[in-house]
Structure 1
């Protein structure tokens, strides 16, 4: 039987997710200027006061959707077999997992443009990205029995992997390269795994 406290936490999480999804959807369909606490609350069928109980700003609400998608991906990494090589797990999970995070290219391009143009969106995006990188580093440390506070390895790897993801998404959105997002992510991961060889058309498999 679910305890009253457990039920309350689930309801809070559901409300937070609904508000964040509403904010995300409003931005994609009507632009950032349409995303106000009142509009978000109306879309989620709650009061503006409820919105302010969960989020300090519209930017936090919008990118809360992205953070939840990142956390779901990290859960998949955490659940990989204990005896699997770290790079193998990344190559199995990230190409499809990141594609699920970003969704439709045109919609994500709208988000990317708002982040580029709006300082508050940029700042909140950095918060989300940093939070994901920290949690990724903790997973790497756990899977490699490494001391996260004493060994820079997990943090360096997490930063490199996040950079690979960001680079792949940027190239994919730009359309400068005629490749799918999973292909770009596999390429970037392979280059990192090979020690980032420079000058070669393709990294070693």
Structure 2
């Protein structure tokens, strides 16, 4: 096998893995939305996409992890988006641009994300897992903000606070987006949330 053929085969396998992961996520969300969390097993999810339970565990350690669906690369991707913003752009604006790019990514998978938000609303016991899954992301973004602003983590508190505010603005936009059934565009709601923060959160 030539190097080109080998690279193609590797790319094909990677695409297949991503497709399988996405199919398991979608099956988990659909079944839990229909039956509730307690009414769905790992075997149910695997069977829905014609796979074995053993194969399911190659992708997710539990059904709850399939529902969260967080990619291990998400923290790195957000950090890279932030670092790609020119250094002269102020931190809050850079965080807005990072968040807007993420919103556009979510919008491209609108139905999947609306279903995920519905499942989490119906099953509050999943919320701690969702919060835990965001910890790695928040730490990675805080570190990038610290480098950008020239301060050390754990000293001024600025990187941690700026990141927490940005994440809260994004979550608030997601809640509005879900409540409005995906309209208007999530990126526009993110812009609105950041505009309110930049204005000092004046009374409505």
TM-score range, shorter chain: 0.7 to 0.9
Shift of 1:184: 1.6
TM-score between the two structures when normalised by the length of structure 1: 0.73
Partner of 1:197: 201
* 2:30–2:115 Cα contact (<8 Å) kept: no
2:54 equivalent among 49, 55, 78 = 49
Partner of 1:118: 123
The reply on whether 1:63 has 2:65 as its aligned counterpart is no
Shift of 1:23: 2.5
* 1:19–1:51 Cα contact (<8 Å) kept: no
Backbone CA RMSD of aligned residues: 3.6
Q: 1:1-205 to 2 correspondence within 5 Å?
A: 15=17, 17-18=18-19, 20-32=21-33, 33=35, 36-41=41-46, 47-65=52-70, 68-69=73-74, 71-175=76-180, 179-194=184-199, 196-199=200-203
* 1:67–1:128 Cα contact (<8 Å) kept: no
TM-score between the two structures when normalised by the length of structure 2: 0.73
| Structure 1 residue runs without a partner (length 5+) | 2-7
1:60-87 per-residue CA deviation (whole Å, 9 max, x = no partner) reads: 1232346655643332113323343323
Shift of 1:137: 0.9
1:136-174 per-residue CA deviation (whole Å, 9 max, x = no partner) reads: 111111211211132311111111111100111111221
